[in-house]
Structures are given as structure tokens and as C-alpha cells.
Amino acid sequence: MSVSRRVLLQTAAVAGMARGAFAADSIKIGIPVALTGPLGGIGAQMRRACEFWAKQVNAKGGLLGRPIELIVEDTAANPATTVRKVQEMVERSGVRLITCIVASNEALAVVPKLAEWDTIFVSGDNGDGRLTGESLVPNFFRPNVSGPMGTRAVTLWLRDSPMKKFYGIGMDYAWGHNSMDVFESEAKRAGKEFLGAVFSPTGTKDFSTYITKIRQSGADGCYLVLAGDDNVAFLTQAKQYRLGEKVQLLTEQVDEMGINASGDASVGLIGGSRYPAALDNPDNKAFVAAWQAEYGRLPQMFEGDQYQSCVVMQAGIEKAGSIEAAKLRPALEGLVVTSVKGPITMRACDHQAEQPGFVVKVVKKDGMEHPVPEVIATYKADRVTPPCNQMVYTD
Amino acid sequence: MDLLSFLLVQCLNALSQAALLFFLGVGLTLIFGIMRIVNFAHGTFYMLGAFLGYSAVRVTGSFWAGLVLGPLVAGGIGAAFEMGLLRRLYKRDDSAFLMVTFGLTLVLGEIIRLVWGVDALQVQVPDSLSGIVFLLDEPFPVYRLFLVAAGAIVAVGIWQFLERTRLGLLIRATSQNAEMVHALGVDVNLVRSGIFGIGCGLAALGGVLAAPLLSASLGMAGNAIIDAFVIVIIGGMGSFPGSLLAAILVAFVQVFGTYYFPDFAMAAMYLLMLLVLVVRPGGLLGKEA
Amino acid sequence: MRIFVCVALLLAMAPLGLPLFAMTLLTEALILGLLAMSLDLMVGYTRLISFGHAAAYGLGAYASGYLLLHTSLPLPFAVLAASVLAGVVAIGVAWVCTLAKGVSFSMLTLAFAQLLYAVAFKWTSVTGASDGLAGIPRTAGPFGVTVFQTKNGYYYFVLVCLLGAYLFCRSLVASPFGAVLRGIRENEAKTLSLGYNTRLYKIAVVAVSFALGGLAGALYSPFAGFANTELVFWLFSGQVLIMVIVGGQGTLIGPILGAAFFMLLEHVLSQYTESWALFFGLIFIGFVMFAPQGIWGLLTRRARA
């Protein structure tokens, strides 16, 4: 049975609607997500959030009175496959709305074709600054936190910290360099000293020589722009070299998968979080409670962010009364949506959602199998969101 | 850090990296040297070892159990695969092995994903090895020293096995002239299955040992196979001392090269491979011209 | 020849009958088919097993993508220029690789492909590094020839390229040059002793193979609208090799079928199960065990029986 039909039946069972009624009447949302390959873990989280949201909405009668149908396809985070799968969704299944793409380079490959497909893409986790900067297209919307916003939250926190000198290590590709650039300029404007940075190739397994380099630099803190297996390997090995005792490790985003995989090695790590589950507001409390009931655990970072994006999509569709790009686009621009992170505004100028930034610290808690991220600072939207179409800040 | 302690730490960094690379390469070169099979699935057996190590620790609480269990299970699967499928292909040309082992990579990789899931899994360093030693005032993980020692022990062990034991002699003889060995009354098929199994087991051993450093994850196989190929090519396909030499060479080039020229980190290994192949097309200690 | 004309006509009529998305798949299948066929010249006819053919594809894709993005060169010229570039680069690569034979040759091809991958990954200004080149336009010709900007127009362009390349390869293989290649495949030492400079022939076939593989890549990037490092990844090289072998090496047509088969299988399987890689692997193993002549071998055997 195809994956999409499976989801369809689940939502049908919940909504108690007849199977035949769907095909013509449903609202189809394309989910071209990486389910296999190294990013499969993130993809699984994002898809889960979409399914959870769709189930909730369908249980209350659907969207605009129509059931939501998720068309899920595996892209394995290969941009060529992503483009092909979305093309198929558009041409074969009549999809006009997509979300839940995992990697920024997949997003960057898809974005130039949105106009040709007359399709709106609402990002769930794509953080590359250029998506709302030089690569912005009218059909792209980003309700989630961008990479520069994460870095900004961390550097704002550093302004009040006694640490003076910073070194950096990042993965040697677009995200690594961009994030490091933002950190460098922000740290310097905070009056700190930036000693330099080193970039490791994707897939580096042995970080011993990088750890030695960081030690040599004499820095108080080290900014990490690492993800996935590289991130886990670095944290694990850094712990073995007792690096954390000498140098405070900082990072752009702290996500639970990395913590779970590196265990105690990530204790003491400080960084940005796109969605901390412990946020205290009514929407989040309801979300977390429902999530716990469904999955028996707290929602993780990518799940929360993707869920917020789904809620934004929903608000836009309800306001527009349609999923057609021509109507949905203006409906989303300027829209204020209240969800798990409180009220956020979908800016018209660059389609980025203005929202608060959070800094967390990884701590060990009794009774929890893995360490958890604890919020240590919150910054308001206007401090963390960059000016329109920009990736740099001015204050 | 002064120069002396820096050099010492970096040298040990390189040696521990060499140990991991050696474990990765030695199984592949043995299989190729004896059976002329390019085992595309080698990286997947490495990954299997890491996951088996994880499970062994989960179930028994002992890392050492994983060190034994991982290679045994992987070796068993490898030997079974050889007996069931590869054996029928010896009459055919080499491309058949390539395809079959590529198919095995896909199948085994997916089975691993189904059994252990998509998330990276942490494997704890055993408590006895989790400390640090101070070398000229710089901390260095005990586990890495253990890796260097383990690498040396296995290297010597294999060398002695091949040179001194009867089975080792049979193995070397089979690689040179299988028919003659068969004529002497030895079950060549069994020897071949054994070799393939040992090769896969060694890969898995590398995986178990690497797991506390890297965590067991699905992306391991892809990286591992290319590293294994490079080691074996530089050392010479089929040369056991070659794989040892290559592992040390590559590790030192990477550790010191990355330190001084981080931009070339990615290309360094391949440039080295190219350089070696142009000068000595068979690899450093290879037998082919 | 008759079969060729029939197939060509059938393919030419495809846009009339096939639904929109099937046309997209077919276009991509033809491009991959061209790539696989180009590799067959090396693998099937000369026994030069290359683990680095993705390099040809990537070179072509990046070259045409770069030309289309940064110059006002019309599409057909950009594609042609990219293909020629790939062929020229191949001469240098082949010159080094043919210093070795057998497995060492294969490993050298792998080394070069990985180097190209590393360069593509780092050379941000030209290749866009890990993000690749996006938004590649299909620049209209100087006479306002915009036919390639339509779906069907581009399909015919690809079809013409593939058919032309096929005819070229067929005549190449049937020519005295092809006979020498087969001689090298069967027994290089003997061919050498007959007075042929086998190394030069090998370099030549690699150059042609890369030029055609580069043509495939050059057709791909305007089709998809982007080019990135995944196109040069060694895993893709392995997949192309599989396409050739599964399709039936040394037949030119076999690899084209192999490419189509591979692509369709991956596409269809991934819709039905997340474990598509498992079935994919099993199918390959099945082919090796029971159908070593590949798909083309199966088809022609049935026809004869």
C-alpha cells in the first residue's frame, strides 16, 4: 500500500469519513521528505509533526470543510530526487502546496521552480539565510527560525557573558560558512575577539586534530556549526579529550537527536533552540499534552518547528479560503499566527516569520534517560529577526 | 601547548586514526588478495559491527562482549553469503562480484535500518578505558591508546597467523594456486568461505572499536567503504603489510595536513592516492604492475 | 536498422500518448540512458571498468549550467560546449589512468572522480559548492528559438541527442577503431604485439566516452534546472556501472534499457515502501545469479528461442 494512502486511511478512520469521498474533495499537501539516508532521523520527526497536525485538523472536520491528504514521498535528501518527486506530485497528484523538506540544498533546488509549478512552499525547518535573501521567490514562506536567527540568539547571550575570545569549527559547506560568518560579525559587534575558525569536510570521523587546534587557540569559547553524524562524533570525542573543561562549547542549534546520540558528552553545551518543549504558553501546553498522549514523550525540536509551520499554513488557508497560490500568497503575507512559540508575524517583505529566539543549555536531569535542553535566555522577535532580505544585523 | 607536547599528541592522534583505518582496510585487502573479490559491502559490515556493539552493550552491559559478538556475527553472515551466493560466481568475471556485493550493501543496509532505526546510537566507552592520561601536561584519552595497542596486537596476530600457522599457509597457497591446493586434498571452498568470513569479521571489529568514538549510525557505511578502498589501493590490493603502511601514511598526512592546510582536508586522501598510483600503479607494496 | 527506425518513431510519438509526468520520467530516462551507453564504450567494448563515470556527467552538468547561468550562450551551444569540455578534460585524465591496467586503472578513475567531487564541493564561485547551481535557464537561441523551453521541445532535443549518439557509437564500434577496442578487450598483449598503440586507443575511447557522458550531464542540468555535487558522488558512478551491467554490457542498447529500468524501479519501489533499497538489492543479486547477460541478453535470447 503506498505510504500516502496509508496516511489517508489513518486520517479517514479518525474523521470517520467514507473512503470514496476523499479523492476529489481533499486538500492535498505534498511532503517530499528525506526518510532514508543520513537525514532520515530529522525527516521522520518532521513527517510525524505533519501527520499529527493533519490528524488533529481532520478530527475537527478538516480544513475549509475538506479533509487533509498528505502525499508523502522519500527524497533521501538528494536534491535531484526532491525536484523529481515534487514535479510528480504537481503533475500527477495535483498538489499545489508543499512543506516538510529537510535539507536547505533541497529547498534551494526546488525554489526556482515554484512559479512554474504554481505551488506554495511553506518551509518546516530550512534555515539557510539565502532562502529569504537573494534566493527569495514569491511562493516561498518561512515560518521557522533561520540559521542566522539561531546564531543571533547565541551571540546576544554572549554579550552578557564574561568570555572574551572565541574560536570556531564548522562543516565545510554552505551552512557551516554562512553561520560562522554571522557569528563572527555578531561576536565582534558584541565586543568579543574572534580568533579564527577551521572547517572540517562533511563526513569527518576523527576530530582529534581539530580538537588539538581548538585547544591551541587559547579561546574561552568555541562555536560549533556541525550537524548529524559529524556533530555527534565531535561532541563524543571532545568529551574524551576533556575539551569542555577548558573551552565552553557553543552551537547554533541544540537538537535532541544529537543529545541522545552523544549522551553525557553534550552536557554543558550551550546553543540556540528553535523550539524548546518546555515553553510556557497555552498553545504549547496544549500541544505538548496532546503529543504526549499520542506518542508517549515530549515533542522534539524539529517536530515543534514543523508543527508551527503547519499551523501557519492552516491559518493562511483559512484566511484565503483557498489553497491557490494567487490567493494564499497575499493571505500569508503579514499574517499573525499564535502557536507553540506564542504570536508570530509572517513578514510581507521577505516571508520570514518574526519570532522569539531561545538559548538553551544541556543539563542532566534525574529520572531522564538522556540529558535535556533547558532554556537559559529568551529574546524577543524584534531583537532576533534580521532586517528584511538580510542575513546581517544592525544593532 | 609547547612544541614537544603538541608533536606527541598529534603523533598519537595519527596513530589512533591509523589503527581505525587499518582495521577498516585489512579485511578488504585480505579478501581481495586471496579471492580477487572487491567486496563492495565491506563498509556495511563495518557498520553492522558498530550496531552489534551497541546492542551487546545494551544487553550485556559489557563492551568486551561486543568486541567478540560483533565480529563473530558479521563473520558468520559473510561466510554464509559466500557459501550461498559468491561460490557460484567464481567461474564468471569480476563484474559479477561487484554487482552481487553492491546488492548485498543495499540489502544489508536496509536490514540494519529496519532493526536499529534511523537515529544514531551511542556506544559508551567502557569505564576501564574512559579516563585520560597526561602526556607532558596535555590530556589524552586512554581509549585512543587502547586503539593503538589493539591495532598493533591485531596486526602482529594476523602476520603471525599468515606466516606461522598451517591455516595461514593454506590461505596463502590458495591465493597463489587454488587448484594445486585442491589437488592436495584440502577443501578449497571451506578456505574461501573462511577468508570471506574473516574479512567481514575484521571489518565489524573495526566498527565495534570505532563506535565509542563516532556512534553507530546509518551514514557510516558510505564513508567507510571509500576510506577502505583508498587504504587498500594505496597499500596495494592484496598486500597485508601494505594496508598497515597505507593506514599509517594516510593518518599522518590527514592529521598533520589538516592542521596546517585545512582547506585541502577533503582532497588530501585522494591526492595522495593519485600520487601513489602514478608512481607505483600497484600501490606501495602491491604485486600488480 | 529497421528496429532502430521503429523504436525512434515510437519514442517520437510518446508526447502524444503519455501523461505529463510520464514524459518527465521518460526524458530523464533517456538522459541516463545516454550516460550508461557512453560508459558501455569503455566497459563493454574495451573492458576498462571505470568507477568514476559520474565525473563525466558532473563535468557536463556543471559546465552547461555555468554557461547558461553566466553567459548568454543559447542552450544547444552551451550543451555542445560542455560536452566538448568533458571530452578534452578526459584526455588528460585518461593519459594518467592508462598508465595502469586492470584494477589499478579502475581505482585511478575512482581517485579522479573523488578529486572532482572535492573540487566541486569547494569551488564556490564556479560550482556553488554544496548548494550547486540553481535556477539554470534554458536560454533561447539567437533567432528566438524558444522551443526547448517547453516540455516536449526539450524532450525532442534529448531524443535527437540520444539517437544521434547511438548511431555514432554504433558506427564507431563497427569500424576498424572498434575492432581494435575489441582486440584490447579480449587480449591486450596480443593487440599490442600486432603493432597497435593500445594506450592511444584507450585514451581515445575514454575521451569519446566522457564527451558523450558529458553530453548527458549537459542535458540534465537545464532539464532539472540545477546541478549539484550529488551528481559527481562516487555512489552514482557505481549506479551507472550497475546500469550498464544489468542492461547488458557490450551491446549499446542494453545499457540504455538498464538505465531506464534502474530509474523506473527506484521510482516505483520508493512509492510503495520505505524499504525499497532492500528489494532493489535483491533484484540486482537476482540478475547476477540468473541473468548475467542482462536485460538485453534476456530479450534477445527470448527472440531467438
Please indicate, yes or no, whether residues A337 and A365 belong to a single structural domain of this protein.
no
Residue C143 pLDDT grade (very low, low, confident, very high; cuts 50, 70, 90) = low
Inside any domain, residue A103: yes
Please indicate, yes or no, whether residues A163 and A244 belong to a single structural domain of this protein.
yes
**In this complex, how many residue pairs, one in chain B and one in chain C, have their CB atoms less than 8 Å apart?**
114
Which has the minimum average pLDDT: A67-81, A345-359, C8-22? Answer: C8-22
Please give the average per-residue pLDDT across A191-214, as a whole number: 90
Please indicate, yes or no, whether residues A132 and A164 belong to a single structural domain of this protein.
no
Q: What are phi and psi of A66, to 5 degrees?
A: -115, 150
Please give the average per-residue pLDDT across B127-131, as a whole number: 85
ipTM of the complex: 0.84
Residues C213/C53, Cβ–Cβ less than 8 Å: yes
C130 contacts in chain A (CB < 8 Å): 105, 173-174, 202
User: Whole domain around residue B117: which residue ranges?
Assistant: 22-220
Find the CB nearest C271 among A2, A83, A111. A2
User: How far, in Å, CA of C220 to CA of C203, rounded?
Assistant: 25
Residue A20 pLDDT grade (very low, low, confident, very high; cuts 50, 70, 90) = very low
Inside any domain, residue A395: no
Nearest CA in chain A to B268: A201
Please indicate, yes or no, whether residues A255 and A283 belong to a single structural domain of this protein.
no
| A87 CB within 8 Å of a chain C CB | yes
Residue B243 has pLDDT above 50, yes or no: yes
Q: What are phi and psi of C290, to 5 degrees?
A: -115, -15
B-facing residues of C in 13-42 (CB < 8 A) are none
Find the CB nearest B110 among C108, C119, C275. C275
pLDDT attached to residue C305 = 54
Residue A15 has pLDDT above 50, yes or no: no
pLDDT tens-digit profile of A327-371?
999 999 999 999 999 999 999 999 999 999 999 999 998 888 889
Residue C195 has pLDDT above 90, yes or no: no
Inside any domain, residue A394: no
Would you list the DSSP string of A106-157?
HHHHHGGGHHHHT-EEE-SS---GGGGTTT--TTEEB-SPPHHHHHHHHHHH
Residues 6+ apart with CB under 8 A from A186: A151, A152, A155, A393
Question: Looking up cell 517520437, which residue turns up?
Answer: C12
pLDDT attached to residue A13 = 43
Residue A172 pLDDT grade (very low, low, confident, very high; cuts 50, 70, 90) = confident
Residues 6+ apart with CB under 8 A from B198: B27, B30, B75
DSSP secondary structure code for residue B216 in this structure:
B
Please indicate, yes or no, whether residues A266 and A332 belong to a single structural domain of this protein.
no
Residues C292/C285, Cβ–Cβ less than 8 Å: no
Distance from CA of C123 to the nearest CA of B (A): 11
Inside any domain, residue B157: yes
User: How far, in Å, CA of C113 to CA of C59, rounded?
Assistant: 10
Nearest to A376 by CA among A362, A386, A356, A366: A362
pLDDT attached to residue A66 = 92
For residue B46, the one-letter residue type is Y
Residue C304 pLDDT grade (very low, low, confident, very high; cuts 50, 70, 90) = low
pLDDT attached to residue A359 = 95
- Do C121 and A173 count as a contact with CB atoms less than 8 A apart? yes
Residues B135/B8, Cβ–Cβ less than 8 Å: yes
Inside any domain, residue A289: yes
| Mean residue pLDDT across chain C | 87
Count CA atoms closer than 13 A to B266's CA, side-chain side: 22
Residue C287 pLDDT grade (very low, low, confident, very high; cuts 50, 70, 90) = confident
pLDDT tens-digit profile of C233-269?
888 888 898 889 889 888 899 999 999 998 888 888 8
Residue B112 pLDDT grade (very low, low, confident, very high; cuts 50, 70, 90) = very high
Find the CB nearest C115 among B100, B229, B270. B270
Tell me how far CA of residue C122 lies from CA of A202, B141, B262, C126, in angstroms.
11, 33, 12, 9
Question: Looking up cell 596513530, which residue turns up?
Answer: B15
Which has the minimum average pLDDT: A272-281, C25-34, C117-126, C136-145? Answer: C136-145
Inside any domain, residue A293: yes
pLDDT attached to residue C303 = 67
**Considering its fold, how many domains does chain A have in total?**
2
Inside any domain, residue A152: yes
| B215 CB within 8 Å of a chain A CB | yes
Please indicate, yes or no, whether residues A229 and A364 belong to a single structural domain of this protein.
yes
DSSP secondary structure code for residue A62 in this structure:
-
Please give the average per-residue pLDDT across B69-88, as a whole number: 90
pLDDT attached to residue C96 = 87
B217 contacts in chain A (CB < 8 Å): 38, 229, 232, 261
Residues A169/A200, Cβ–Cβ less than 8 Å: yes
Residue A19 has pLDDT above 60, yes or no: no
| Mean residue pLDDT across chain B | 87
Residues A67/A48, Cβ–Cβ less than 8 Å: no
Q: Grid coordinates in use for A133?
A: 535573501
- Do C96 and B274 count as a contact with CB atoms less than 8 A apart? yes
Inside any domain, residue B285: no
Distance from CA of C135 to the nearest CA of A (A): 5
Test mutation, A33, A83, A134, A175, chain C, max C CBs within 10 A:
A83
User: How far, in Å, CA of B118 to CA of C168, rounded?
Assistant: 47
Please indicate, yes or no, whether residues A218 and A361 belong to a single structural domain of this protein.
yes
- Do C278 and B270 count as a contact with CB atoms less than 8 A apart? no
User: How far, in Å, CA of C76 to CA of C54, rounded?
Assistant: 22
pLDDT attached to residue B214 = 84
Residues A125/A102, Cβ–Cβ less than 8 Å: yes
Residue A1 pLDDT grade (very low, low, confident, very high; cuts 50, 70, 90) = very low
Residue C1 has pLDDT above 80, yes or no: no
Q: Grid coordinates in use for B277?
A: 598510483
Please indicate, yes or no, whether residues A81 and A92 belong to a single structural domain of this protein.
yes
Please indicate, yes or no, whether residues A68 and A103 belong to a single structural domain of this protein.
yes
Inside any domain, residue A66: yes
C267 contacts in chain A (CB < 8 Å): 84
Inside any domain, residue B260: no
C28 contacts in chain A (CB < 8 Å): 84
With an 8 Å Cβ cutoff, the interface of chain C facing chain A consists of 19-21, 24-25, 28, 121-122, 129-132, 134-135, 224-226, 228, 230-231, 267, 270-274, 276-277
User: How far, in Å, CA of A310 to CA of A255, rounded?
Assistant: 20
**In this complex, how many residue pairs, one in chain A and one in chain C, have their CB atoms less than 8 Å apart?**
78
pLDDT tens-digit profile of C38-72?
999 999 899 888 889 999 999 999 999 999 888 88
pLDDT tens-digit profile of B199-210?
999 999 999 999
- Do A105 and C122 count as a contact with CB atoms less than 8 A apart? no
User: How far, in Å, CA of B93 to CA of C191, rounded?
Assistant: 21
Find the CB nearest C132 among A73, A105, A201. A105
User: How far, in Å, CA of B71 to CA of B50, rounded?
Assistant: 10
- Do A88 and C28 count as a contact with CB atoms less than 8 A apart? no
Residue A391 pLDDT grade (very low, low, confident, very high; cuts 50, 70, 90) = confident
User: How far, in Å, CA of C33 to CA of C257, rounded?
Assistant: 7
Please give the average per-residue pLDDT across B31-43, as a whole number: 85
Please give the average per-residue pLDDT across A251-276, as a whole number: 90
Distance from CA of C227 to the nearest CA of B (A): 20
| C115 CB within 8 Å of a chain B CB | yes
Please indicate, yes or no, whether residues A368 and A228 belong to a single structural domain of this protein.
yes
C270 contacts in chain A (CB < 8 Å): 73-74
Please give the average per-residue pLDDT across A300-322, as a whole number: 94
Tell me how far CA of residue A287 lies from CA of A52, A106, A122, A291, A298, in angstroms.
10, 29, 20, 6, 10
User: How far, in Å, CA of A112 to CA of B66, rounded?
Assistant: 49
Please indicate, yes or no, whether residues A182 and A251 belong to a single structural domain of this protein.
yes
Residues 6+ apart with CB under 8 A from B146: B129
**Hey, which residues does A99 pair with through a beta bridge?**
A122
Residue predicted with more confidence, B286 or A48 = A48
Strand blocks (E) in C33-186: 133-134
pLDDT attached to residue A48 = 96
Percent of chain B clearing pLDDT 90 (strictly above): 36
Please indicate, yes or no, whether residues A253 and A171 belong to a single structural domain of this protein.
yes
User: How far, in Å, CA of C221 to CA of A11, rounded?
Assistant: 39
Residue A2 pLDDT grade (very low, low, confident, very high; cuts 50, 70, 90) = very low
Distance from CA of C30 to the nearest CA of A (A): 15
For residue A264, the one-letter residue type is D
In CATH, what number is assigned to the domain containing residue A103?
Answer: 3.40.50.2300
Please give the average per-residue pLDDT across A162-188, as a whole number: 90
Nearest CA in chain A to C263: A81
Residue A16 has pLDDT above 50, yes or no: no
User: Whole domain around residue A186: which residue ranges?
Assistant: 148-273+357-384
**Hey, which residues does A194 pair with through a beta bridge?**
A166
| A2 CB within 8 Å of a chain C CB | yes
Residue B79 has pLDDT above 60, yes or no: yes
DSSP secondary structure code for residue A77 in this structure:
T
Please give the average per-residue pLDDT across B121-139, as a whole number: 85
| B210 CB within 8 Å of a chain A CB | yes
Inside any domain, residue B203: yes
Tell me how far CA of residue C47 lies from CA of C93, C103, C181, C184, in angstroms.
17, 11, 9, 8
pLDDT tens-digit profile of B152-189?
999 999 989 888 888 888 877 877 777 788 888 888 88
Residue B7 has pLDDT above 80, yes or no: yes
Nearest to A107 by CA among A153, A140, A85: A140
Test mutation, C284, C287, C290, C295, chain B, max B CBs within 10 A:
C284
Residue C113 has pLDDT above 70, yes or no: yes
**Considering its fold, how many domains does chain B have in total?**
1
Inside any domain, residue A134: yes
pLDDT tens-digit profile of C207-224?
999 999 999 999 999 998
Inside any domain, residue B4: no
Please give the average per-residue pLDDT across C280-291, as a whole number: 84
pLDDT attached to residue A196 = 93
Inside any domain, residue B160: yes
Inside any domain, residue B53: yes
- Do B217 and A237 count as a contact with CB atoms less than 8 A apart? no
Residue A6 has pLDDT above 60, yes or no: no
Q: Which chains touch C (3 or more CB pairs under 8 A)?
A: A, B
Q: Grid coordinates in use for A363?
A: 543539563
